[in-house]
Amino acid sequence: MEKGYAEGAEKIQEYLDQQDNIQLYIGITGEAGAGKSTFVNAFRGVDNRDEGAAPTGCVETTTVVTPYAHPNYPNVTLWDLPGIGTTKFPADKYLKHVEFEKFDFFIIISETRFTENDVKLAKEIQKMKKKFYFVRSKIDNDLNAAERSQRDFSVEKTLSAMRENCVQGLQKQGVPATVFLVSSFDLHLHDFPLLQQTLERELPAHKRDMLLLATPNINLEIINRKKKAFQAKIKYYACLSAAGAAVPIPGLSIAVDLGLLVNVAIKYAIGFRLDKPSLEKLAATSDVPLSDLMAVINSPLAAVKITKGLVVKVLSTCTIISLSMLAEEGLKFMPLLGIPVAATISFTTTYKCLSMFLNTFADDAQRVFKKALGLDTSV
C-alpha cells in the first residue's frame, strides 16, 4: 500500500477516535424541587425508578454536585447542581463552587417564575462567557390545571401566555432570554425539541454530533438528523477498510473489515436506540409491549448482540443487486479521497454494507418511534 495512503488512514482513525472521545458537560441548576433530577434522567433516557437514576422528589439539603453520565455515551455528563439558594453562596462563589469552567452550558430550571437568584446566576454565567438556557418545567401540570379551570382552554394559548409571562419576568429583571417550556415526562412535546436544536446550533461544531446522538429519539426529524450524522462518516470507515484490514468472506464474493462493520453497526443500534436495553426501556415508558415494538423492526441487527457471525449471516442474505445499487453514492467519493484502484472493492463494499445497515436502522427507528406513540407505522 502507498505510504501516503496509509498515513491518510491513520489520520482518519485519529479523527474518528477524537470524535468518539469528545466530552460534553451539561450543568443543570435550579431550586430544590424544580425538576432538575427528573430532567437529568429524562435526557439520559433513564426512568426515575431505574437503578442509576438521579434520585427525585427528595428534599435537597446538601450542596453536592453530582455527575450523571449518559448510559450510552459516557462522555456526555449531566451534572445535577444544587440550587443556588440551597448553597447560600452569592452567584460568583456558587459558580466557583460548581467549577463552572468545565461546563459547555448551563440549564436553569424553574417550576414557577424565575427568581432573583436564577437571574443573578444567569448574569454571572454570562460574565464568565458561558451559555445558559432557561427551562420552565412541569408544563404537563400547568396544562392540566388550565384545562380544569378554563372554559375556552387551548393548549397553544396557555403555552404562549406562560412563555410570555416568563420572558417578561426575566426582561423586567434585566435578562432578555428565551424560555423553553418542558415536561420531562414528555420530552417530545412543547419546547424541548426547540431547546435541543438551539443547544446543538450554539455548541462548537465538533461537539454537535455528540449532543445529537445523546438526545433521545424525540421526533422523526431527530432520527433523520442522526442518520445524516452517521451517513457523513461512512466514507471514512470505508477508507479504513480499504486501507488494509479487509479480508474475503468465505461463501460471499466480498472482502470487508468485519470488525469494523460490527463496531459501526453497534454505534447505529445505540444511536437509534434499537439496542435491547433501550427498546426495553421504551416499552416500559410507553406502555407498548416490547413484542409490538419488535414487530415493526426489520433489521436483524436490532435488539441483539451484534457479532461478526451475525454480520456475515446478514450480508449473505442481501442480494448483490441491492448492494450494487448503494455503491453509486460511495463511488462519488473515490476521486475526492484519492483511493488507489486496488482498494476500490473494499471501499465500495464497506460503503455499501454500512449504507444498507444505516438505512434499515433509520427506517426501523422511525417505525418504532411511531409505534411507541400509537401512530400509523405504515407511512
Taking CB under 6 A as the binding criterion, the range among 31-39, 67-75, 87-95, 153-161 that sits at the site for ligand GDP is 31-39
Question: How long, in residues, is the chain?
Answer: 379
The residues pairing with 26 across neighbouring beta strands, listed in sequence order, are: 78, 105
Cβ pair 136, 110 in contact under 8 A: yes
Which of 146, 337 has the CB closer to ligand GDP?
A: 146
Which range touches ligand GDP (CB under 6 A), out of 56-64, 99-107, 114-122, 232-240? 56-64
Site membership for ligand GDP, residue 56 (CB under 6 A): yes
By CB under 6 A, residue 89 contacts ligand GDP: no
Q: How far apart are CA 293 and CA 280, in angstroms?
A: 9
- Binding test (CB under 6 A) with ligand GDP, winner from 5, 27, 36, 43: 36
Residues 124-163 vs ligand GDP: string with x where CB under 6 A? -------------xx-xx----------------------
184 binds ligand GDP (CB under 6 A): yes
Calculate the CA 321 to chain-centre distance.
34
User: Could you say whether residue 32 binds ligand GDP (CB under 6 A)?
Assistant: yes
Strand 76-80 with 66-69, pairing? antiparallel
Residues β-bridged to residue 106:
27, 132
Q: How far apart (Å, rounded) are the C-alpha atoms in residues 94 and 84? A: 7
Q: Measure the CA–CA gap between 68 and 107, rounded to whole angstroms.
A: 15
The rounded Cα 168 to chain-centroid distance in angstroms is 31
Q: Point out which span in 11-19, 36-44, 204-212, 289-297 binds ligand GDP (CB under 6 A).
A: 36-44
DSSP 114: P
Distances 370 to 25, 161, 278, 288, 376 between C-alpha atoms, Å: 31, 30, 15, 11, 7
Choice between 109 and 353, CB closer to ligand GDP: 109
33 binds ligand GDP (CB under 6 A): yes
Between 47 and 164, CB nearer to ligand GDP: 47
In the complex, the smallest distance separating the C-beta of residue 270 from ligand GDP, rounded to whole angstroms, is 26
* Interacting span for ligand GDP (CB under 6 A) from 30-38, 207-215, 240-248, 277-285: 30-38
Q: For residue 162, what is its C-alpha cell?
A: 406562560
Q: Cβ 137 to ligand GDP, closest distance in Å? A: 5
- Confirm or reject binding of residue 85 to ligand GDP (CB under 6 A): no
Nearer to ligand GDP, 184 or 350 (CB): 184
Instruction: Evaluate whether 330 touches 355 at the Cβ level (below 8 Å).
Output: yes
Least distance between ligand GDP and beta carbon 57 (Å): 4
Q: List, in order, residues 6 or more apart from 369 with CB less than 8 Å away.
A: 217, 219, 220, 223
What is the grid cell recorded at 50?
431505574
C-alpha span between 271 and 238 (Å, rounded): 19
35 binding ligand GDP? (CB under 6 A): yes
Alpha-carbon gap, residue 70 to 199, rounded angstroms: 17
Among 110, 183, 215, 350, the residue binding ligand GDP under the rule CB under 6 A is 183
- The site that binds ligand GDP (CB under 6 A) totals a number of residues, namely 18
| 50 part of the interface to ligand GDP, by CB under 6 A | no
For ligand GDP, which is the closer residue by CB, 144 or 324?
Answer: 144
Q: How far apart are CA 21 and CA 173, in angstroms?
A: 40
Give me the amino acid identity at 249. I
**Residues 109, 195 contacting (CB under 8 angstroms):** no
The region of 120-128, 167-175, 179-187, 214-222 touching ligand GDP under the rule CB under 6 A is 179-187
* Chain centroid to CA 87: 31
Among the listed ranges 52-60, 234-242, 301-309, 343-351, the one in contact with ligand GDP (CB under 6 A) is 52-60
Contact residues for ligand GDP, defined by CB under 6 A: 30, 32-38, 56-57, 60, 137-138, 140-141, 183-185
